[in-house]
């Protein structure tokens, strides 16, 4: 079946495409800037067309021969009258889809349960109504908070919980919400392609748990291994003030945070589960909140977190971050990166890199490293006493002072994982590569993933010393290589 995915550069679209491909569908992706799709690991498996939803001629080309069209376009976060832009875009798409004979439209909208509805949810509902009235059989899937690394609503929950052990919150923390795991969202979206042609309606989709936002923060903290959060709701914080507060605490852009906060003032709980008649629940049931959070945090718990933020490899699952996710997605990650060119041969630089630690030391301010080792011993850590197994060679798994060799590519890469006691996870990555002039470029990256507020405070407390500790290493390593 030939499927068109609009919004393929977005959170849902970027994860839907490989799921459709794995289900055996042909996929065409529509984008205003096709170059942005080249960064995705599946780019060479799809057809890419350049089109704007408000350009009927380009849209006809994009929809030509399409059997199922996924409408994943919305203007949230772009400022101005997003509802008006969404309305015009939906009418344009609906008209051209009917004209070109598209067999089905699938739209992912927002879940709402009546009562006061935010402008964002009202706009999502209006778009769904426009598509349902298009004359093309349409499935509108309505979801609340989507749980997965990179989802704006999940990232807001992540940052608020991790950065604030105690907080005064607006009263919307007690609104009831039925979140859904990204894996289940994608399963429903893929399954909607096979709906009978007579199905033209909206479906509520949600996970098995109905929770307040306060309960979600508490359960996130438990899954993430954080201390219980103290949450005190007050009635005086309006959605506008709340979004400013969220913007201060989290890196989620205010243009996205405000519509999300406004949506949380409404109860968003499924009123029916009719979708199961067409897309049955998995044998083990839908993914619950705790498991969805565990899946979203899984890559942060694994050893390959050090490459997660820089690798363009295909994620292992929809819950994993994509390399193209926004910079603010995936949780806090602090880095200290330094580069130095030298006329020494790559082999000479690598010899110094592989000999680091133990009796050779760390090539910068030895007293600082000794003090750090002593501090680690005082709190029960390993300190610097372990040294190294071999003075000139390293292998994966070797202890190296208070580090452990996690990865080694001879002549190119040494990655060390910190085993000192820390409120977070830390790595030191040393790379060697030849330059075009016959010399060498030495690259160094220190990486820290904080654990809760103590981790945040730790990073900023030691930040002033980075220039002393890490700044001298590239200079001294390359100088030692030049002398050898």
Average pLDDT, the chain: 86
370 and 253, same domain (yes or no): no
294 and 358, same domain (yes or no): no
Could you give the number of structural domains in the chain?
2
pLDDT value of residue 368 = 83
346 and 296, same domain (yes or no): no
Residue 267 domain flag: yes
The CATH number for 422's domain is 3.30.530.20
Residue 309 reports pLDDT greater than 50: no
Q: What percent of the chain has pLDDT over 90?
A: 52
Residues 368-403 have pLDDT tens digits of 888 888 888 888 888 887 889 888 899 999 999 999
> Which domain range does residue 357 map to?
334-483
Q: Taking the C-alpha atoms of 245, 301, 407 and 380 in order, what is their torsion angle to the nearest 10 degrees? A: 90
Residue 323 reports pLDDT greater than 80: no
Residue 349 reports pLDDT greater than 70: yes
pLDDT value of residue 319 = 58
For the whole prediction, is pTM greater than 0.85? Answer: no
285 and 163, same domain (yes or no): yes
Residue 315 domain flag: no
197 and 241, same domain (yes or no): yes
Residue 316 domain flag: no
355 and 289, same domain (yes or no): no
Residue 317 domain flag: no
Residues 241-293 have pLDDT tens digits of 666 667 667 777 667 777 777 777 778 899 999 999 999 999 999 999 999 99
Residues 5-61 have pLDDT tens digits of 999 988 899 999 999 999 999 999 999 888 888 878 899 999 999 999 999 999 999
pLDDT value of residue 210 = 96
Last residue of a domain, one of 308, 342, 365: 308
52 and 137, same domain (yes or no): yes
**Mean pLDDT of all residues in 228-247:** 71
Residue 295 domain flag: yes
224 and 339, same domain (yes or no): no
pLDDT value of residue 474 = 95
Q: Which of 131-135, 145-149, 365-369 has the highest mean pLDDT?
A: 131-135
Residue 313 domain flag: no
The CATH number for 87's domain is 3.40.50.720
Last residue of a domain, one of 308, 326, 348: 308
pLDDT value of residue 264 = 73
Residue 220 domain flag: yes
pLDDT value of residue 334 = 84
């Amino acid at each position: 079946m030939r499927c068109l995915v609009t919004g393929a550069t977005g959170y849902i679209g970027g994860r839907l495409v490989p799921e459709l491909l794995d289900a055996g569908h042909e996929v065409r992706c529509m984008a205003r800037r096709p170059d942005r799709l080249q960064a995705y690991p599946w780019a060479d498996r799809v057809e890419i067309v350049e089109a704007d939803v408000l350009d009927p001629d380009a849209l006809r080309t994009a929809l030509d021969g399409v059997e199922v069209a996924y409408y994943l376009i919305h203007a949230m976060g772009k400022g101005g009258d997003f509802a008006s832009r969404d309305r015009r875009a939906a009418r344009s798409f609906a008209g051209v889809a009917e004209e070109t004979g598209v067999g089905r439209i699938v739209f992912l909208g927002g879940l709402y349960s009546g009562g006061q509805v935010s402008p964002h949810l009202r706009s999502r509902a209006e778009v769904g109504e426009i598509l349902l009235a298009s004359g093309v059989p349409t499935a509108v899937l309505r979801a609340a908070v989507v749980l997965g690394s990179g989802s704006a609503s999940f990232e807001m929950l992540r940052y608020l919980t991790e950065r604030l052990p105690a907080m005064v919150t607006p009263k919307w923390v007690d609104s009831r919400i039925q979140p859904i795991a990204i894996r289940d969202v994608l399963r429903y979206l893929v399954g909607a392609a096979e709906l009978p042609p007579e199905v033209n309606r909206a479906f509520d989709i949600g996970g098995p748990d109905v929770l307040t936002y306060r309960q979600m923060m508490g359960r996130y903290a438990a899954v993430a291994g954080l201390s219980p959060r103290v949450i005190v709701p007050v009635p005086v914080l309006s959605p506008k003030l709340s979004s400013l507060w969220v913007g201060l605490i989290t890196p989620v852009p205010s243009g996205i945070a405000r519509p999300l906060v406004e949506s949380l003032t409404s109860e968003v709980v499924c009123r029916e589960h009719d979708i199961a008649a067409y897309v049955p629940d998995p044998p083990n049931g839908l993914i619950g909140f705790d498991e969805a959070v565990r899946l979203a945090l899984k890559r942060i718990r694994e050893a390959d977190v050090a490459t997660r933020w820089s690798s363009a490899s295909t994620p292992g699952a929809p819950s994993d971050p994509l390399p193209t996710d926004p910079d603010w997605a995936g949780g806090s990650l602090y880095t200290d990166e330094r580069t130095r060119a030298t006329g020494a041969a790559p082999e000479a630089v690598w010899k110094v890199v592989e000999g680091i630690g133990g009796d050779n030391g760390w090539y910068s301010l030895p007293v600082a490293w000794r003090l750090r080792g002593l501090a680690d011993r005082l709190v029960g850590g390993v300190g610097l006493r372990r040294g190294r197994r071999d003075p000139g060679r390293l292998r994966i798994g070797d202890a190296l002072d208070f580090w452990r060799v996690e990865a080694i590519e001879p002549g190119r890469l040494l990655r060390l994982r910190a085993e000192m006691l820390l409120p977070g996870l830390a790595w030191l990555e040393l790379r060697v590569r030849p330059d075009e002039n016959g010399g060498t470029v030495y690259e160094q990256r220190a990486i820290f993933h904080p654990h809760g507020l103590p981790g945040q405070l730790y990073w900023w407390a030691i930040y002033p010393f980075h220039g002393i500790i890490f700044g001298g290493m590239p200079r001294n390593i390359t100088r030692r290589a030049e002398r050898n």
